[in-house]
Structure 1
Amino acid sequence: MNREQAITEAFVSLTDTVADDVDPITLLRRLVDHCVHLTSMDAAGVMLANARGRLQSAVVTEERVELTEVLQAQVSEGPCVDAYATGEPVHADDLAESGQRWPVFTPLARAAGFSAAHSFPLQLRSQTIGALNLLARTPTPLSPQDGRLLQALVSTTTTSVLTWNREPLRPYDIVTRTQAALSVKGVLDIAAGMVAATAHITPAEAGQRLRAYAVARHQRPAEVAEDLVRRRLTPDAVLAPPP
């Protein structure tokens, strides 16, 4: 598959809001995966604002990204925090030069193995609901081409996330739907923890097993997670080989 085909498929997957196995977190997970596969970035994540306007990690491509996101939320500094606050993209091509800009975030990100950070706000109707977090292991500027592509991917995904159930979107629904996506993330984390404890695997691996189970049965991962948490489904069932 060439680059043009990959980009086309990315946009198609990000606008698929009617499939039985798609929910807001699934769309955000597709976004971060496409960002890594289609650009020079090595890792990505999305932070969403809760009802109090505080950023929370929603999806990541690897656990080290979530560590950087949690810290940004705790100390209120970093590229995602700035992108969310200003509504503008934030770029740090080389974190070695950003120590004064983000004195707490920068050393942690570098200790986690990242040397560049970029962030794009998630916006709809001039309302910012979160930010895309992009990290690279070496000092890496974003090319104008990648910057335009990332902005388009973010805009498409934000619209899909907030309108995925096809109900009319009123201005005051934006916060409600963002909060609903974060609630889904919380249930998914609990369910992944249950699977991880049963199989003695990492939460990330457990999340992959949960999503694979959902895809095989044309269910939303959130529905499978809810069934696990409410004991309508056992971790062993999720871990069993597909029929």
Structure 2
Amino acid sequence: MTRQKTVTTHMNREQAITEAFVSLTDTLADDVDPLTLLRRLADHCVHLTALDAAGVMLVNARGRLQSAVVTEERVEITEMFQAQADEGPCIDAYNTGEPVHADDLTASEDRWPVFAPLALAAGFEAAHSFPLRLRGETIGALNLLARTPTSIPPQDARLLQALALVATTSVLTWSREPLRPYDIVTHTQAALSAKAVLDIASGMLAASAAITPAEAAQRLRAYAAVHHQRPADVADALVRRALTPQDVLAPAP
């Protein structure tokens, strides 16, 4: 019985890993855009490992990392800490092009005197980061956090690196046009601009329905999925008043 359960669990994980890679290469669907792909990356990293939360930071036009997607609001807080203090695992992973690990942040205060205490105060005790790299260019970093001291086993580290590579490739080739070196900044800046519009639209929904911005963003994504639209396009329509908050908040048919 135990052996059968072990085999079944292994098969379920293998299936989940396969589905993760398939979802990250789905660039042809009408309702998929770079932010959707990065959101899937963050979600898969949490579901497939012992980590509790994840996010992605992308480099902006000024060469600074900026939060693009998160699985929960507190992750974005840690990313803001890193960007403002110019220190932390994502900053180091982006600058070096190598994975960065802090299994226990309580032992990392000398390493990151600003970031480590603030991340601990936000409820996270471990932080890991993998660079988002393609063809020698680093466009950002994958931000991985745990609420207790947590190391990443070698097999999970290889999986996370592979997922990050596939997602980076999909984001940069999403337009299905030949990628030129100067297009990389254009692609990342477009994703960050879409994130800004999503934040505004989520704020509009939150104010209309008296819900949190995180709940509003979830409602927006649900509306986009039901109507086979990109979340960024729905957000843009809300900001332009082509859609009303009531349209998006109405129960799905």
TM bracket (short chain): over 0.9
Is contact 1:195-1:235 (8 Å) kept? yes
Counterparts of 2:123 and 2:84, CA distance in 1:
20
Q: Which of 152, 158, 163 is equivalent to 2:168?
A: 158
- State the Cα distance separating 1:171 from its structure 2 match: 1.0
Shift of 1:165: 1.6
What is the aligned partner in structure 2 of residue 187 from structure 1? 197
User: Offset at 1:167?
Assistant: 1.1
| TM-superposition CA deviations, 1:28-83 (whole Å, max 9, x none) | 00000000000111000000000111110000001010000001000100000000
- SS of the residue aligned with 1:135? strand
Across the two proteins, how many residue pairs are aligned to each other? 243
Instruction: Find runs of 4+ consecutive structure 1 residues off by over 3 angstroms.
Output: none
- 1:170 Cα deviation from its structure 2 partner: 0.8
- Do residues 59 (structure 1) and 69 (structure 2) align? yes
Q: Which residue of 1 aligns with 2:178?
A: 168
**Contact 1:14/1:30 (8 A) holds in 2:** yes
- The secondary structure found in structure 1 opposite 2:109 is coil
Q: CA RMSD in A?
A: 0.7
Normalized against structure 2, the TM-score is what? 0.95
Where does 1:113-152 land on structure 2 (aligned, <5 Å)?
A: 113-152=123-162
After TM superposition, give the deviation of residue 139 of structure 1 in Å.
0.7
Unaligned regions of 5+ residues in structure 2, if any?
1-10
Distance in 2 separating the partners of 1:132 and 1:146: 14
Match of 1:19 among 29, 32, 55: 29
Work out the CA distance in 2 between the residues paired with 1:101 and 1:45. Answer: 21
Give the deviation of 1:86 after TM superposition. Answer: 0.7
Contact 1:115–1:138 under 8 Å retained in 2: yes
Q: Secondary structure at the match of 2:35?
A: helix
Which 10-residue stretch deviates more, 158-167 or 146-155?
158-167
User: Normalization by structure 1: what TM-score?
Assistant: 0.99
User: What's the counterpart of residue 108 of structure 1?
Assistant: 118
Query: How far apart in 2 are the matches of 1:200 and 1:167?
Result: 42
TM superposition shift of 1:206? 0.2
Cα distance in 2, alignment partners of residues 165 and 84 from structure 1 = 24
In the TM superposition, what is the alpha-carbon distance from 1:112 to its structure 2 partner? 0.9
CA contact (8 A) 1:214 1:221 kept: yes
Q: Report the 3-state secondary structure (helix = DSSP H, G, I; strand = E; otherwise coil) of the residue aligned with 1:159.
A: helix
Q: Secondary structure at the match of 1:219?
A: coil
| 1:224 maps to 2:228 | no
After TM superposition, the structure 1 = structure 2 runs for residues 29-68 of structure 1, keeping only pairs within 5 Å, are 29-68=39-78
Supply the AA of the counterpart residue of 1:166.
R
* Percent identity (aligned): 79
In terms of Rg, which structure is larger?
2
- The answer for the alignment partner of 2:216 in structure 1 is 206
Q: Deviations over 1:126-156 (max 9, x none)?
A: 1111000000111111100000000000000
Paired with 1:99 and 1:177, the residues of 2 have a C-alpha distance of 35
